[in-house]
Structure 1
């Protein structure tokens, strides 16, 4: 029996019996999915927690997904479970107050400084951003580290709908939209491409390996010959730069609208 058929048979048995034994087999079957999801999350466990704790948080999401999954809907369990595993981990981290109010304020200050530098100078440089923030290198790097640990939705995030999961990138275009909306969507894509070109080669590498190749931060570190912490920092800086660039472009576009 092929793996797909075996999975279907297992889910059918569970739907009919709801037996504990069958449920345990499903949990064991999909435990590697938790490692995949946690490995792709750009979060650093707070003091007192470690990677194993994050995996245990993910089990809550897996169990919730198992109870709510409906094979008859026609989509895969992996697609259904991933956002729930990720959400369970984030929920538990929030309970631990892993990202304090002070931390959020530092990240917001960093983002505002990057937006101003981009607006005034047309590109980003670390020394310019530090000057705009009025901080030394140590404080600046601390803000970068905090930014790298913040959770930012990306195009591989999914929206949970009644009939399954739809990627955010699949919801950006609408066949019913008018010419103006289509032009604006094309403009968004062009702005994203332009913003990507402003990143350093190393930042582009990290984003490509993470979002297109599906590598975890630790794996990217091995590829690039740097620590996982450094990869996280590069990733955070790149996303902050992209966000500053795109927000600046959106502000300029809003001014031009009638």
Structure 2
């Protein structure tokens, strides 16, 4: 019987349909085997790392003596932990090397690499500083006291100026963490007081808001009160001078000033808890109520901050 193209095609289709599942089945088996090996190796690696956590602190204690006291031991431990994890993943038992010995090398290397990345001082500088430190320790062990700079220079065999330059370089190369705590658990950042408020974000923001609040309060006053407050408090004019220029008595200007101050103080009490309340019977009660209602609709935190102007301008105004 002669096969037709249709018969040939259907035979080929049946052949492919028959072969494909077997091939796919073998691939699926291989994939599952690899997945089980991967899961098993990851589980074994995690177990190795967990069983050897104490090794990290041992290595940290060994290498910490090479670094100044300001170097954070916690950061050394973290770097060592990364080294231990990498060691557990790359360890091959068939080499015959005990895991503890292999991991110790990787942990020590990870710690050293991490400190080198954070250290901007060149190796030659570190070598000269270490030579100076070793000479100081040897002299103190032999003589029972700290050496003078002249004695250090003689011990190392360098001019006195070289001792001065090495100590200066040592100070400049020591980087301290502001969040590092001392024995009283107080951070270095808390010990150091910043005398320039605009360098402290939260304090600078609070200062700008206060300046903007003051400007907003003055700007919201009626024109006559605003003019008196500006001329008396900001321009330093005397009440008598203001009264003469306006053609009124000094007592009237004093009354306008008092009403304006009461209105502004009432506004400040809505934002600051340490501002004293204005007495209910203080002069200008009706105008004060209208002023507060107007400020409540027009004043927001953002508008007050914008009223302070650019940071540089607000800092100059504060000064």
Scaled by the length of structure 1, the TM-score of the pair is: 0.36
Of structures 1 and 2, the one with the larger relative CO (CA 8 A, separation 6+) is 1
Structure having the higher Rg: 2
TM-score, normalised to structure 2's length? 0.30
